[in-house]
Amino acid sequence: METCEFDQKAQDKALNLYIDTRGAGPRPVTFTEAVVDGLAAGGGLYVPERVPELSLEDIAALAQLPYAPRAARIYRAFDVDLPAETIEELMAQAYGDNFDDERICPITSLTADTHVLELWHGPTSAFKDMALQCLPRFFSASAAQLREQGKLDHDFLILVATSGDTGKAALEGFRDVDGVSIAVMYPDGGVSDIQFKQMATQRGRNVQVWGVRGNFDDCQTGAKNVFGDEAFAARLLEEHGVALSSANSINWGRLMPQIVYYVSAYAQLVADGKLSLGDELDVCVPTGNFGNILAAYYAKRMGVPLGMLYCASNENRVLTDFINTGTYDISEREFVLTPSPSMDILVSSNLERQLFELTGRDAAAIAGWMSDLREQRRFRVDEETFARVRELFASDSIDNATCLDTIKRVLDEHDYLLDPHTAVAYQTAENLRGENPVLIASTAHWAKFGDNVYRALHGLEPGAPLPDDVAALSGCALNELIARETGHDDIPRGLAELDALPIRFGEVIEGGTDSIETAAARFLEKLDATTPARND
């Protein structure tokens, strides 16, 4: 394959290492170490020392390649410490016939200036597949290389907190991967019927799923506390030969594939004649944990001509309030259940990376703000950092009723069926957009949230009971009803078959650190007993 200009730039520079946003890590680490570690040793998040810069010609040239080679070129631009042929091979595995569209993330244009980036064509019908068909392969390859280098002599337990979509995507990505087991926690009662069944029916010898009493933030906080428990880490290593790692977006290996699809989308719009090379494209992202919109920021840093980044919130509007005021405050904020449950998040982990970049990489400031958030449940950034936030971002929150109204309106106007998360982004884009065309990140197939899509199409209030005959339907049967009513019968096979699969996981645990650690140890004991190789 011909070497492009930014491949050569990567080869000409020293290895790109990763640093801790809180400045507490003992040393910078390689990409492979950052992926395997997940969380930085000092409790912060890893970011690359160097963000590569692409020329407009580099970006345009990507459109001549299929998606997997596009992704490989961008990884090589980051100077990932894996052989080029390994990167190519892993990307070919990640983005192949496991997606139901050969374009991987096709773009549907609703108008000349409104483009929808469909990120849900992977095996679990959510945007998390874009990263979690990629990360497990790079995690396994990274661990293998570190073992060969004598830097690693243990297996891993991937511990994941999910608000609905990450869990299934991570389970599917890591199932039956050698040297790795995975345990997922979701808020009991806080995910859709389809999301629950996707996780509860998961196949694989190395997987475990728990419901947690509480909301997503309880799951996420519990997971972070477990990661920070050095005594528990020592026990896992001694008794099971296992170290903890993460597949949440705190892992840089989750963010890298998301950067790729924004670079790719710009190149594709130019190639399709919908954008002139160099013209600005605004991006609107429905986000709770800030990772998806942070990836757009890094694409912009790399030279992609992205304009404003619109952060779309639901009624859990902590990010909107932060972007509009400079104060992040959850001290007295009520957690709201919405039709877009994957965004029902109050603690946005990836905001830490964004603030690290906007402060000029001031680790001391980040450590202080994160300490304030942990101890006081709030922090306020300085005026200079806030000004930089306002230069890059605008934000709005969409209430539950407007979210459902938007689904119906877009179907009526464009014959396009949105899921509730994408509806939040669509309406935010309408509220905030200026003269630039807008790319809307569509994060899930509508059939993952059939109950709220049905409410939208039939004018029911958010949270209103479904009619008795409809409420009696399973999630799969409800999706079939919606498909008949709308003519949108593109229900992915992985969702349509869920009712026929046995429920494997139904245990519900408390969200405290001790409960999670007890459940994790029990899972590993079971694996030790049933997997002879683990006792060698």
pLDDT at 8 over 70: no
Q: What is the pLDDT of residue 480?
A: 97
Task: List, for residues 315-337, the tens digit of each pLDDT value.
Answer: 999 999 999 999 999 999 998 98
205 has a pLDDT exceeding 60: yes
Task: Name the band, by pLDDT with cuts 50, 70 and 90, for residue 154.
Answer: very high
Tens-place pLDDT, residues 384-438: 999 999 999 999 999 999 999 999 999 999 999 999 999 999 999 999 999 999 9
Annotated catalytic residue: which of 128, 197, 224, 408? Answer: 128
Average pLDDT for residues 263-283, to the nearest whole number? 98
State how far the Cα of 298 lies from the Cα of 296, in Å rounded to an integer.
5
| Cα(19)–Cα(406) distance, integer angstroms | 42
- Tell me the percentage of the chain whose pLDDT exceeds 90: 86
The rounded distance, in Å, linking the Cα atoms of 256 and 148 is 24
CB 439 within 8 A of CB 269: yes
Active site residue 128: yes
Pair 217, 95: CB distance under 8 Å: no
| More reliable by pLDDT, 11 or 502 | 502
The 10s digit of each residue's pLDDT in 21-77 is 999 988 999 999 999 998 898 789 999 999 999 999 999 999 999 999 999 999 999
Residue 89 has pLDDT above 70, yes or no: yes
Instruction: Tell me how far apart the alpha carbons of residues 195 and 29 are, in angstroms, rounded to a whole number.
Output: 35
Classify residue 515 as exposed, middle or buried by CB count within 10 Å of its CB (0-12, 13-18, 19+): middle
What global pTM score does this model have?
A: 0.93
What's the pLDDT at 2? 41
The structure tokens listed for 287 are 């986000």
pLDDT: is 184 or 535 the higher one?
184
Q: Residue 247's pLDDT band (boundaries 50, 70, 90)?
A: confident
Domains present along the chain, CATH in parentheses = 107-121+253-461 (3.40.50.1100)
Q: Are 119 and 127 in contact (CB under 8 A)?
A: yes
pLDDT grade for 288, boundaries at 50, 70 and 90: confident
Q: What is the 3-state secondary structure (H, E, C) of 156-218?
A: EEEEEECCCHHHHHHHHHHCCCCCEEEEEEEECCCCCHHHHHHHHCCCCCCEEEEEECCCHHH
